[in-house]
Amino acid sequence: MNQRLEHAMDLLKTNGIRMTPQRSAILSILLDSNTHPTADDIYRSLEGRFPSMSVATVYNNLKVFIGAGLIKELTYGDARSRFDANTEEHYHAQCVSCGKIEEFTFPSLGEVEGIAAQSTSYQVHGHRLEVQGLCKDCAAAATASSSQALAHKH
């Protein structure tokens, strides 16, 4: 068992949350993934191993993990939340074509929070930085289809 999973399981136990085989499997997927899966993605990858598990079971366990501080819920304006087990400060780039999300690091924007709090009198609880564009694969496909369209015009 990897160290991150052991740490997560210890944290759940400390919070009085029993580790079930389904919880362990969901947590393993999240810790091993850098694709920020949706609840449906997690359900589909586990339905063969746990035929009696429902999507609701996945959602309920994700809420437990969020409450324990093990994962973050990411929303990007489409009705599907994605889940991220990397709770350290980092940012995301999302492909506007295929929806792929990748992480990147950048110096902390903590100063921005302070300025926002001072300017607005808000009690700032955090921030989120998202960059949108085309991933490498979609950009290559767009370039290829654009080249083909030009070739057909001539």
Structure tokens at 93: 């780039």
Give the pLDDT band of residue 154 (cuts 50, 70, 90): low
Assign 91 to helix, strand or coil.
strand
Alpha carbons 25 and 43: distance in angstroms, whole number? 10
pLDDT higher for 111 or 145?
111
Same fold, 1-87 and 88-154: no
pLDDT of residue 62: 95
pLDDT (mean) for 12-35: 88
Give the pLDDT band of residue 77 (cuts 50, 70, 90): low
Alpha carbons 12 and 5: distance in angstroms, whole number? 11
**Burial degree of 24 (CB within 10 A; 0-12, 13-18, 19+):** middle
Q: Which amino acid is at 102?
A: E
Q: Give the closest residue to 107 by CA, choosing from 90, 124, 92, 94.
A: 90
pLDDT, one tens digit per residue, over 33-73 is 888 899 999 999 999 999 999 999 999 999 999 988 889 88
User: What is the separation of C-alpha 71 from the centre of its chain, rounded to a whole number of angstroms?
Assistant: 8
- Cα–Cα distances in Å, from 82 out to 16, 39, 47, 70, 88? 25, 7, 18, 14, 16
CATH of the domain spanning 1-87, picked from 3.40.50.720, 1.20.120.160, 1.10.10.10, 1.20.1250.20? 1.10.10.10
pLDDT (mean) for 3-25: 86
> Is 70 exceeded by the pLDDT of residue 151?
no
What average pLDDT does the chain have?
Answer: 85
Query: Where does 88-154 sit in CATH, by number?
Result: 3.30.1490.190
Domain residue extents for the chain: 1-87, 88-154
> Is 80 exceeded by the pLDDT of residue 145?
no
Query: Which residues are paired to 84 by β-bridges?
Result: 72
Give the pLDDT band of residue 1 (cuts 50, 70, 90): low
For the CA atoms of 25, 28, 34, 38, what is the dihedral angle to 10 degrees?
30
Q: Give the closest residue to 100 by CA, choosing from 82, 127, 73, 79.
A: 82
